[in-house]
Amino acid sequence: MHIDEIWRHPVKSMIGERVADAWLAEDGMVGDRSWAVRDEVRGALAGAKKLGGLMRFAAAFDDGPESSVTITLPDGTTVGAADPDAPARVSAALGHDVTLWPRRPPTDLDHYRRGAPDSDDLIEELRAIFGREGDEPLPDLSVFPPEIFEYESPLGTYLDAFPILIMSTAALRSMAEVVPESVVDVRRFRPNLVVDTGDVSGHPEQEWIGHVLQVGDAELEVVVGCPRCVMVTREIDDATPADRSLLRHIVRDLEQVVGVYATVRRPGMVRLDDPVLLSSADAATSSSTEGGDSL
């Protein structure tokens, strides 16, 4: 099997851009989540878990990840992320007072520190973030790095938890078949890599946990399934409206996870159509030279 799509998201929680190749560094895809929105009401970084309207915005680099970022507002107009008027224009379109920030160094603890919750009831706060109804379980939070309970993201990054998020074409196809009334748009799920798994059904990537993927020049260790939150329910555009039924399926039938998180064991370039090889974590070093099982 092979890489079917590569997604880079220049601004956290805004719709990203499909690209032909990308460099995977130890802290994630170069250029991915380079910028984030700061909620000036709460006084903290925020994504679409809190400010759902962010997923009606899109962001793309003008000419690769070292260039400027252009944000497309919901009405189709554009503004540069670094432009002086960008905070005012994004705030007006979002209906909420925000500013825009490039990544800050990990030593800037106040920048990354979590803001005040919307509710004094921790369970109510978590149910809102994860979009859980009263009789639905919350995900196992122990799978996340401990620092994100104090900070909005791993320090020095705007990632949710881990560097790379991977999905399969089988997972997208399976959800569309089971919940035909929903718009199963890959943009709802915000993966970095989509792997074409051919005619395999279901969610085969869950079987990759604990294994290593050889993708292009990079080596990725798959560490845990991705617990899904309220973001998969958000409106993106008129063709992809708000929809809570998809999340109900994920919670009820998929043990709350879709896609898998991975860390980068060996940085390298990945390209569309690169083959994807699977090996055990213990065999990662030898598989990089001897090859693995093609997915």
Nearest-angstrom CA–CA distance, 191 and 234: 16
Q: Per-residue pLDDT averaged across 230-236, rounded?
A: 97
Tens-place pLDDT, residues 111-128: 999 998 899 999 999 999
- Give residue-wise pLDDT tens across range 22-34: 999 999 999 999 9
User: Tokens at residue 197, please?
Assistant: 């798994």
d(CA 292, CA 295): 9
Q: Where are the alpha helices (DSSP H) in the chain?
A: 86-94, 109-112, 122-130, 169-178, 245-253, 284-290
The neighbour count for residue 75, using CB atoms within 10 Å, is 7
Q: What is the chain's mean pLDDT, rounded?
A: 94
**Per residue in 77-93, pLDDT tens?**
999 999 999 999 999 99
E-assigned strand segments in the chain: 2-8, 17-18, 21-25, 28-29, 35-39, 44-46, 58-61, 69-72, 78-80, 98-102, 164-168, 193-196, 211-215, 218-227, 257-266, 268-271, 276-280, 293-294
pLDDT of residue 280: 75
For range 142-165, the mean pLDDT: 94
Residue 215, helix vs strand vs coil: strand
